[in-house]
Amino acid sequence: MKHLNIMAYCLTGLFALTACESDRDDNPTIKQPTTFQLNISSSEVYDLEANSTIQWGCVAPDYGYSAPLTYSIQINKDDNWTEAEGDTPASYKTLETTYTSTTFDVKTEELNRSLILLNEWYDEATFPSTAEVYVRVQSTLSTTDAYKCYSETMKVNVKPYYTKVSTEPAKLYLVGNHQDWATDGTAPVIIASDEAGTTFSGYAQLNTEFKFMTTTSWNDPNYGGANGTLEQGGGNIAVPKPGFYQVDVNLSKMTYKLQACTWGVVGDATPGGWDSDIQLTYNEESKALEAKATLSGGEIKFRQDGAWSISLGGSLDALVLNGGNIAVNAGTYTIRLYLSDGAYHAELIPEE
């Protein structure tokens, strides 16, 4: 009996230990770290033209368990890191490549381009031979993109090289059978939302197949694929059904997303007020979303899918996301909303 009791206690302890281990593995307690250490030389001068990559690294921050992390490198002119606010951009640039290990093979072309944009070194005559740059690394949990933590800041010496950098946002052309595969620059375009030119968003009327082109030449990089995954030079992308789509692309992750959507006009100048939209339909001839409507004097805005999560306002010739109400005069108009030519804008054409 005594042996049986001892065995029972041992088994009970074993089950309890196993349960505790399971709790720790499956439901870890996440700890928010305050900072972490970088492994970057502060004395070396990194020659960005002589090397395609330079190796930096860090000591993983302590999240309380072996968490899968994503690291992003950020650079600044000094150690004063401020976020974007209104029309004022952030004081720093974030490099487009992210890392999942504590060793970073930093692409020098990417770093050099970000330095030029950060410091506005557009004149070759005044381009510096060496420069100081402040570096920090942001970590997040890979599974949630949350629990951000920033490393210590290090002042690093670099030798940049001059190259022309466009300050215009990059674009992708959506070439397909919706416009007979024409490469004359008239295809719908979506615009990059980041300076690195890797994340794009926009709208297009699509038919059954298309591809993304970086220029109007098939000799330059183009992208196809299937099921949300892109491949450079890949096959034609199938469209679920003909219609108007919100199109999102991430060239860093090589993904795309097509979401069918509608657009309407709403406001106290419309018959339905702020509660009911005048629905716009795509006009192939004008390349615009269009409707005829009688408006009273007042205000309007454009919104997607009859909701306020995505709306456009400000001024008709330069619409901005979630911009202010647009004042209009009373009259009967053809309303046109242009979302596929690289600049969101609209016009009200009075009926004669």
Condensed to tens digits (0 to 9), the pLDDT of residues 99-111 reads 999 999 999 999 9
Residues 224 and 193: beta-carbon distance below 8 Å: no
Extract the tokens encoding 85.
């606010």
Listed in order, the ranges of the chain carrying CATH 2.60.40 are 38-159, 171-258, 263-350
Residue 195 has pLDDT above 90, yes or no: no
Regarding beta strands 45-47 and 154-159, do their DSSP bridges make them parallel or antiparallel, or are they unpaired?
parallel
Which pLDDT belongs to residue 26?
59
> What's the pLDDT tens digit per position in 74-106?
999 999 999 887 668 889 999 888 899 999 999
Question: What CATH architecture does domain 38-159 belong to?
Answer: Sandwich (2.60)
Phi, psi of 42 (to 5 degrees): -95, -10
Distance CA 150, CA 36 (A): 7
Mean pLDDT of the chain: 90
* Beta-ladder partners of 192: 200
Higher pLDDT, 283 or 9: 283
The residue among 219 and 135 whose pLDDT is bigger is 135
**171-258 belongs to CATH 1.10.287:** no
pLDDT tens digits along 288-315: 999 999 999 999 999 999 999 999 999 9
3 state DSSP class of 138: strand
By the 8 A CB rule, do 260 and 244 touch? yes
| Reported confidence tier of residue 28, pLDDT bands at 50, 70, 90 | confident
pLDDT-based confidence at 10, cuts 50/70/90?
very low
What pLDDT score was predicted for residue 87? 67
pLDDT of residue 7: 43
- Tens of pLDDT along 137-161? 999 987 666 789 999 999 999 999 9
> What's the average model confidence in pLDDT over 32-49?
96
Q: What is the mean pLDDT of residues 262-266?
A: 98
Burial degree of 110 (CB within 10 A; 0-12, 13-18, 19+):
middle
CATH of domain 263-350: 2.60.40
Residue 17 has pLDDT above 70, yes or no: no
Number of neighbours of residue 174 by Cβ within 10 angstroms: 24
Q: Which of 28-37, 143-152, 337-346 has the highest mean pLDDT?
A: 337-346
pTM for the model: 0.63
- Do strands 326-328 and 345-350 pair parallel, antiparallel, or not at all (unpaired)? unpaired
pLDDT of amino acid 14: 43
Question: pLDDT at position 338, please?
Answer: 98
The pLDDT, as a whole number, for residue 143 is 65
For 199-235, the pLDDT digits (tens) are: 999 999 999 999 999 999 999 999 999 999 999 999 9
With b for 16 or more beta-carbon neighbours within 10 A and e for fewer, the 117-135 pattern comes to bbbebeeeeeeeeebebbb
Distance CA 233, CA 52 (A): 24
Q: Which comes out higher in pLDDT, residue 208 or 14?
A: 208
| CA trace torsion 256, 258, 264, 267 (10° rounding) | -40
Type of residue at 295: L
